[in-house]
Amino acid sequence: MSERITEAEQVVLEALWDSAPATAAQITERVYPKRQWNGQTVKTILARLIHKGAIEAEADGRRFLYRPLIDRAALVETEAQHLLDRLFDGKAAPLVAHLVRRAELSAKDAEDIEHLLQALKR
Write out pLDDT tens, residues 60-117.
999 999 999 999 999 999 999 999 999 999 998 898 888 888 877 788 988 898 898 8
CATH architecture designation of domain 7-68: Orthogonal Bundle (1.10)
pLDDT at residue 2 above 70?
no
Q: What pLDDT shows up at residue 17?
A: 98
As assigned by CATH, the class of the 72-121 domain is mainly alpha
Mean of per-residue pLDDT scores for the chain: 93
- Residue-level pLDDT at 33: 94
Say if residues 70 and 17 touch (Cβ distance below 8 Å): no
Burial 39-64 (b: 16+ CB within 10 A, else e): eeebbebbebbeebebbebeeeeeeb
What is the model's pLDDT at position 105?
A: 78
Bridge partners for 59 per DSSP:
64
The answer to whether the beta carbons of residues 14 and 30 sit under 8 Å apart is no
User: Which pLDDT value is given to residue 109?
Assistant: 87
The yes-or-no verdict on residue 1 having pLDDT over 70 is no
Domain spans in the chain, listed from the N-terminal domain onward: 7-68, 72-121
